[in-house]
Structure 1
């Protein structure tokens, strides 16, 4: 996937459909992309023809909805992540727990193989890194906003390094979720313990 434009990274505007959208067809198409990725297909190897065949639709159905393969894959990975969770906005701790729990939901875990298969490609292809960032950045920015709010309200230190704290919160969760990096750390209560551990150093 080369020469990916900024427009496609943001999710290029899709072509106007010639008929009303079919949610069932959309779901089948996005699921087909994720299944191909989870089977080890590279982004470059996946074709619109293969996606259409797996989803049981015609190529024209896909092109009516997505301008190109890059836009389709971005939407598929975004669908895998699920919608952004609603935050109560009252407690930094509670909001961080909500955000990290959403990233570790049963829906997201069902596609953990997709993330694992994308990792080698992230090392090989900068354009795929940018594609993945386009999907994950809204979630990261929401977490940043929680940390900024905590600084403003006095819950967190005013000299807090937001980007480093973000990495400390998301890195262990991703690695443990994908690979069970530390089998002696149980899943039950993991998110709360992770957030509490980071906040011990981040609290005002």
Structure 2
């Protein structure tokens, strides 16, 4: 028996974005989740097509193109969704604020997202334009952590000569390596953020 595919024209208006009609967050999430599933299953970003994403999400290609002009734009939004919202620093303790930021990079789905990030990297850095767009995605997160470190320098909690940019790299690099590659399996996931921040602060503290 022939399997019938639901076309975008058969989907209710919640999957459309007509004049004055807000687009469906549910559909957006389904499309981005389809990207995650395809990437985490081992497909490269180059190999993934809009057709494959549409089929996985259960929508028509037109539904995707109404939201994203091309695959690159969809991948960038996938990166944003993967990272999640920025935690707000409380401003009471440099250590606690740094732990909060690092812990946000180690979310419950980090195992899947690590695979997704590894597959996305070649696509994101294959051109100068894509690199610029990706840097625009992560720069607001860096700026939050810069603010925490600069506040610590001003308050005397951190060394006056602290290299802020290098400190950012030292905090984010191991997190990314563990998320993507499980680079050192001897480093436990439990209390990872606290242990990393405390280790870095041994050299950064005043």
On whether the aligned pair clears a TM of 0.5, the verdict is: yes
2:5 corresponds in structure 1 to: none
Distance in 1 between the 2:125 and 2:68 partners?
26
Q: How does 1:25-174 map to 2 (within 5 A)?
A: 25-121=27-123, 124-174=126-176
Structure 1 residue matching 2:38: 3-state secondary structure: helix
The superposition leaves residues 130-171 of structure 1 with CA deviations (integer Å, 9 ceiling, x where unpaired) of: 343232222112111111111122211121101100111111
Say whether residues 1:181 and 2:188 are aligned partners. Answer: no
Distance in 1 between the 2:127 and 2:68 partners?
22
Q: Deviation at 1:181?
A: 2.3
2:17 corresponds in structure 1 to: 17
The superposition leaves residues 104-140 of structure 1 with CA deviations (integer Å, 9 ceiling, x where unpaired) of: 1113433221012234445654444334323222211
Distance in 2 between the 1:157 and 1:99 partners?
20
Greater radius of gyration (CA) = 2
Q: Deviation at 1:51?
A: 1.5
2:4 corresponds in structure 1 to: none
The superposition leaves residues 157-197 of structure 1 with CA deviations (integer Å, 9 ceiling, x where unpaired) of: 12110110011111112212333322322222222121111
The superposition leaves residues 25-83 of structure 1 with CA deviations (integer Å, 9 ceiling, x where unpaired) of: 11111111122222333333332222211111112211222233222111111111111
Q: What runs of 5+ residues in structure 1 fail to find an aligned partner?
A: 1-15
Q: TM-score scaled by structure 1?
A: 0.82
Over 3 Å counting, the alpha-carbon distance change for 1:43 and 1:141 in structure 2 is: same
